[in-house]
Amino acid sequence: MTEQTVLSSLEGGVLKLTLNRPDRLNSFNEDMHLALRAGIQRAHDEPAIRAVLLTGAGRGFCAGQDLGQRDPRKGGPKPDLGQTLDTLYNPTLRLMRDLDKPIICAVNGVAAGAGANIAFVCDIVLAAKSAKFIQAFSKIGLIPDAGGSWSLARILGEPRAKALTLTAEPLPAETAADWGLIWKAVEDDALMDEATALAARMAAGPTVGLGLTKRLIQAAATNDLDTHLDMERDCQRKAGLTDDYAEGVTAFLEKRPSNFKGQ
Ligand code: T3D
């Protein structure tokens, strides 16, 4: 490994992962794929990690797949992109959805192709006002992957999802927020402070309850109401057995801030 493609630091229960190939706008090579997956896996494995903050180094967030690695002029057989989705993108996306801890995404600059769609898989997305989201795939003859055709259709509906993906027109951060695709667009110089504070707040929260909440919201789109009411019952039962629930109620009754331990 010649470069550290994902920078990682743990502070106050927040695992910060920074995509780190700034000269390629943090586009994905295999090493960065594996490093990001290892970071998310670490968040699964370590109880001390109670939230993840994902961002990019330099002026971009992530420009999707590194196209230098797909250069047809180099010859050789045509790539099996289904296989790269199967082995590189999709396991990481599933790991991010399955993580029972909040993932905050700070989109610091352009997010294109799979780079945009990885942001949409995160739980709370903040973007710098100067950032743009580009479904760049149609420009190179591909389909929107990394969950994009799923997220965009669900969140935006067909008309906007089709227009964005078929035209590859950049979507400014403020419009993305107006359309409900991300949580907020914030002033560029406030982005990291705001995202860091939010991640710290999540890390100080009732981790089990937050994880169950994430799971419920994700399941809502495919559950019918009957199934979902049962799922809420089961999740509330689990949440009600946590020490954090007891602490939350005690703190309320004692008129003091809660001191959640994530258990
Ligand atoms: O292959 C598979 O495994 C299947 C999965 C595919 C998933 C995908 O994500 S496909 C989509 C791939 N991404 C793109 O098509 C986006 C390509 N990039 C762009 O269109 C533009 O760079 C941006 C709109 C994102 C930003 O434009 P701009 O003008 O701000 O920056 P730039 O000058 O184009 O880029 C700066 C540098 O980053 C530049 O290098 P240079 O000239 O300074 O040496 C550029 O080549 C490099 N760069 C940007 N994106 C990529 C990249 N290098 C490799 N791969 C990239 N995706």
| pLDDT for the residue numbered 2 | 56
Residues 193 and 91 both lie in one domain = yes
Cα 49 to ligand 1 centroid, rounded to whole Å: 32
Domain residues for the domain of 233 are 207-253
Of 100, 97, 107, 104, which Cα lies nearest the Cα of 150? 97
Burial class (CB in 10 A: 0-12, 13-18, 19+), 69: middle
The tokens for 140 are 């190179």
| pLDDT for the residue numbered 3 | 76
Residues 132 and 146 both lie in one domain = yes
Cα 135 to ligand 1 centroid, rounded to whole Å: 12
| Residue whose token pair is 């008129």 | 255
Residues 113 and 216 both lie in one domain = no
pTM of the shown model: 0.97
The DSSP code for 65 is B
Of 245, 181, 184, 182, which Cα lies nearest the Cα of 213? 245
Q: Is residue 260 part of a domain?
A: no
Residues 24 and 115 both lie in one domain = yes
Q: Which residues, at least 6 apart from 240, have a Cβ–Cβ distance to it below 8 Å?
A: none
Residues 60 and 38 both lie in one domain = yes
Residues 80 and 194 both lie in one domain = yes
Residues 95 and 189 both lie in one domain = yes
Residues 195 and 212 both lie in one domain = no
Residues 119 and 229 both lie in one domain = no
Residue nearest to atom 27 of ligand 1 (CA): 110
Mean pLDDT per block of 10 residues along the chain (263 residues) reads 86 98 98 98 98 98 96 93 97 98 98 98 98 98 98 97 98 98 98 98 98 98 97 98 98 98 97
Q: How many CB atoms lie within 10 A of CB 68?
A: 10
CATH of the domain at 212: 1.10.12
Amino acid at 58: G
Q: Which of 5, 20, 25 to mutate to test the pocket of ligand 1 (most atoms within 8 A of CB)?
A: 25
Burial class (CB in 10 A: 0-12, 13-18, 19+), 172: middle
Cβ atoms of 67 and 85 closer than 8 Å: no
| pLDDT for the residue numbered 147 | 97
Number of domains in the chain: 2
Q: Is residue 58 part of a domain?
A: yes
Q: Is residue 80 part of a domain?
A: yes
| pLDDT for the residue numbered 54 | 99
| pLDDT for the residue numbered 1 | 44
